A and B are shown apart, each in its own frame.
Chain A
Amino acid sequence: MTGDTDSNGEDRERNRPSSRTDSSMSTNTNTTTGPTTDAEQEPNETETARPDDVPDRPPVLEADDVDHSYGPVSVLENVSTTVDAGAVTALIGPNGSGKTTLLRTLAGLLEPTGGSVTYRGDDAARRIGYLPQQPAFRPGFTVLETVRFYSSLVGADEPDTAAVDRLETVGLADAADRPVEALSGGMTRLVGIAQATIGDPPVVVLDEPASGLDPGMSNHVFEIAAELAAEGTAVLLSSHDLSLVDRTADAVALLDDGRIVRQGPPASMRADLEVDSLRAVYEQSVAADAGTVRVQGVTDE
């Protein structure tokens, strides 16, 4: 698939504010001080050209030389990246590459052991919405009660209405009265997405939002992400569904072994490597053999 000609992407682009036509994720090779990779040695070719008449808005979220370690195990090393408003930014990479750790660090849930994360968005009641990788909710409550609870926490004037609106957005209005423990895994994830968007946070972080969903539901989830971005929200998500990422994301960061080895718009990444899909980009950029999980400090460099 070639994302450049994807009609959905074009439609989304037309619907977005003009300030969003700039690159949604800039490559920060000059600020990455970690071990050098082939990808990093390349010139900054992935940066998209910015039209002269478009104001250069600062990124909503910026990670600068972020390290994170769990005790002696280093999971992130010198990660620098940015997340822009009104864009879907996707984080891809093999299992164990540090995607969830990076997402949680960017969401402010983990303190980096090195470097810094800076939020430059609006001073909203809730700045960052977050969908965990395995969302779960307190049993004994209906879907509506659960979403209403979270709506109340951000000061919604009418939590019931706000909750119903969220459920309609994710397509779960018909399940409003169902107990959360009676939901399928996919439906629970949709409730999680509804939860993550409550309060209209300027940044929404979704950790594998399409994991375990059927193809139709996965499409729906990515459509929701695109719609959020079209409304000006900075959406940062991780996924293993590379075709959906290719089709939806404005920018992609490829994480391998705790380092960002490649980042930029999908089209630029494909063009750089002269391949026709994000999967091919992934396969050429990731060091691990297929079917092997690289374990930092154990797997040979």
Chain B
Amino acid sequence: MSSHAETEAETETDGEAASSHLRTPGTTRLLGTIVGRELRTVARTHTFYLLAAAFAAVVLGITWIGGGYTAGYLPTAVDLLTPLELLVPIVAVAFGYRAILADDQRGEIEVLETYPVSPREIVLGVYAGRAAGLALAVAIPLAVAAIAIAVTGDDAVAIYATHAGADSPVLFARFLVLTVLFALVVLAVAIAISSLVSATRSALGLSVVALVALLVGFDLAIVYGLAEGLIGDATLLHSLAISPLSAYRGLVLETTVVVAAGTGPQVASPLASLAGLVAWMVGSLAVAVWGVRR
């Protein structure tokens, strides 16, 4: 029985033999089972393919229109940065906003409570499965863009180290990894939302609120804090880490554009930004666990 009921273990173990062939599986096996189901769900859901295709079309379209194929990796990353700041959160929320809610509406979360599966394992399993699908949906178009640049670029780039003033696929790889990380952070927020609401309409409403807060709200809050003197010049770079969007943007600029430019003022604290993104991810998943347990 789950935690609600007291348990008085029987001293007589008549039934042990009957049930001994079934032992509570370990966390790794449970996670594997739940992740496997999520992966199959993603692979069998046409909506996710449509989302991924739309995302890929936008990424490749911007790359094409911006002349990125011929301009190189860094110009393409700069071209894509602002559109991805908007697109990635939308795609991530679409991947996750009903992930737990749908199971809850079907009563499957309640049924899972009768199995030796903890809310933490449910959330981590669901998140990991969806994250794998989302990571592929985000990474593949960017990787295709990178391949196109490599194949069709005017000047073949032979530099794979990062040097001031030099374009490099390594810079684009960093951009790709950071974009996937940003997507996974927003997915964690979406999973948290899906665990807190009890209706699809509520999930949609809260998702829109979360998107507005992520895309505009936190940046405005930082600007307000700066204007009111709540955030000083000295702490501004670190304060940017409060907003996932600013943290992502700062990380991309610091690890790609500034590196290539070789000069210019520091635009973000990479360490603080990374810590900010990790905190958002872990915090959101903790909220999701609480939501499922509730």
Contacts and interface: CB of A to CB of B under 8 A. Distances in A.
B115 A155 contact: no
Contacts of A154: 22, 24-25, 115-116
A123 B37 CA distance: 27
Contacts of A121: 10, 15
B202 to A, nearest CB: 19
- Which applies to chain B's interface (DSSP): helix, strand, loop or mixed? loop
B201 interface: no
A125 B116 contact: yes
B22 A140 contact: no
Interface residues of B, number: 42
A200 to B, nearest CB: 6
Contacts of A136: 106-108
B115 A119 contact: no
A135 to B, nearest CB: 7
B258 interface: no
A25 interface: no
B123 to A, nearest CB: 15
B115 A108 contact: no
Contact of A108 (B2, B22, B112, B117): B2
Nearest to A124: B19
Interface string A99-127: 00000110111111000111111111111
A273 interface: no
Interchain residue pairs A-B with the least CB separation, the first 6: A108-B2, A122-B15, A119-B1, A136-B106, A155-B25, A108-B1
A287 interface: no
A132 B107 contact: yes
Given A108-B5, A123-B9, A157 B21 contact: yes
Contacts of B2: 108-109, 128
B8 interface: yes
A122 B16 contact: yes
A209 interface: no
A125 B5 contact: no
17 contacts: A107-B1, A108-B4, A116-B6, A117-B5, A117-B6, A121-B15, A122-B19, A123-B9, A126-B114, A126-B115, A128-B2, A134-B107, A136-B107, A141-B40, A153-B33, A155-B25, A157-B21
Contacts of B6: 116-119
B28 to A, nearest CB: 12
A108 B9 contact: no
A interface, over-half SS: loop
A115 B286 CA distance: 31
B45 interface: yes
B40 A111 contact: no
A292 to B, nearest CB: 29
Most buried by A among B3, B10, B113: B10
Contact of A132 (B7, B110, B116): B110
Contacts of B4: 105, 108-112, 117
Nearest to B105: A136
A153 B9 contact: no
B82 interface: no
A134 B111 CA distance: 11
B33 A125 contact: no
Contact of A125 (B1, B3, B23, B113): B23
B111 A132 contact: yes
Contacts of A127: 1, 114
B45 A119 contact: no
Nearest to A126: B115
Greatest chain B CB density within 10 A among A126, A134, A137, A201 is at: A126
